[in-house]
Amino acid sequence: MASVEEGTARKPSPHGFSSFKCFPGMYPFLLISAALSACGLISASPADLHRRAVTQLSAAELARFAPFTQFARAAYCGTDILSDWTCGEACEANSDFQVSLVGGDGDAVQIYYVGYSPSLEAIIVAHEGTDPTQLESDLTDVDIPLATLNSTLFPGVSSSVEVHTGFQNEHALTADIILAEVKSLMSSVGTNNIVAVGHSLGGALAEIDTVFFRVNIPSANISAMTYGTPRVGNPAWAALVDSSDVNFKRIDNMQDLIPIVPGRSLGYEHPAGEIHILSPGDAVSCPGDDDATDADCQIESVPTIFQGNILDHLGPYEGIYIGTIYCT
Ligand X SMILES: *[C@@H]1O[C@H](CO)[C@@H](O)[C@H](O)[C@H]1NC(C)=O
Q: Which of 135, 153, 157, 186 binds ligand X (CB under 6 A)?
A: 153
How many Å apart are CA 298 and CA 296, to the nearest integer? 7
3-state secondary structure of 103: strand
- Smaller CB distance to ligand X: residue 148 or 293? 148
3-state secondary structure of 88: coil
- Smaller CB distance to ligand X: residue 33 or 223? 223
- What string marks each residue from 37 to 76 as x (binds ligand X by CB under 6 A) or -? ----------------------------------------
Contacts to ligand X from residues 211-240, by CB under 6 A: 221, 223
- Smaller CB distance to ligand X: residue 98 or 134? 98
Closest-CA residue to 189 (of 69, 126, 100)? 100
Q: What are the backbone angles phi and psi of residue 222, rounded to the nearest 5°?
A: -110, 130
Q: Is 13 in the site for ligand X (CB under 6 A)?
A: no
Q: Which of 3, 33, 130, 193 binds ligand X (CB under 6 A)?
A: 193
Decide if 80 contacts 94 (C-beta within 8 A).
Answer: no
Q: Is 94 in the site for ligand X (CB under 6 A)?
A: no
Q: What are the backbone angles phi and psi of residue 110, rounded to the nearest 5°?
A: -60, 145
How many Å apart are CA 55 and CA 294, to the nearest integer? 11
Rounded to the nearest whole angstrom, what is the least distance from the CB of residue 154 to ligand X in the complex? 9
Rounded to the nearest whole angstrom, what is the least distance from the CB of residue 265 to ligand X in the complex? 28
How many Å apart are CA 241 and CA 270, to the nearest integer? 9
Q: Is 168 in the site for ligand X (CB under 6 A)?
A: no
Instruction: Reply yes or no: is the peptide bond before residue 287 cis, omega within 30 of 0.
Output: no
- Smaller CB distance to ligand X: residue 135 or 178? 178
Amino acid letter for position 174: T
Closest-CA residue to 109 (of 13, 175, 14, 40)? 175
- The footprint of ligand X on this chain (CB under 6 A) covers a number of residues equal to 11
Q: What angle do CA 95, 96, 100 make, to 5 degrees?
A: 105
Cβ-count burial of 31 within 10 angstroms (0-12 exposed, 13-18 middle, 19+ buried)?
Answer: exposed
Amino acid letter for position 81: I
Q: Is 195 in the site for ligand X (CB under 6 A)?
A: yes
- Smaller CB distance to ligand X: residue 120 or 314? 120
- Smaller CB distance to ligand X: residue 18 or 152? 152
- Smaller CB distance to ligand X: residue 99 or 297? 99
Q: Which of 49, 122, 125, 232 binds ligand X (CB under 6 A)?
A: 122
Q: Is 150 in the site for ligand X (CB under 6 A)?
A: yes
Residues that bind ligand X in the complex, under the rule CB under 6 A: 120, 122, 150, 152-153, 172, 176, 193, 195, 221, 223
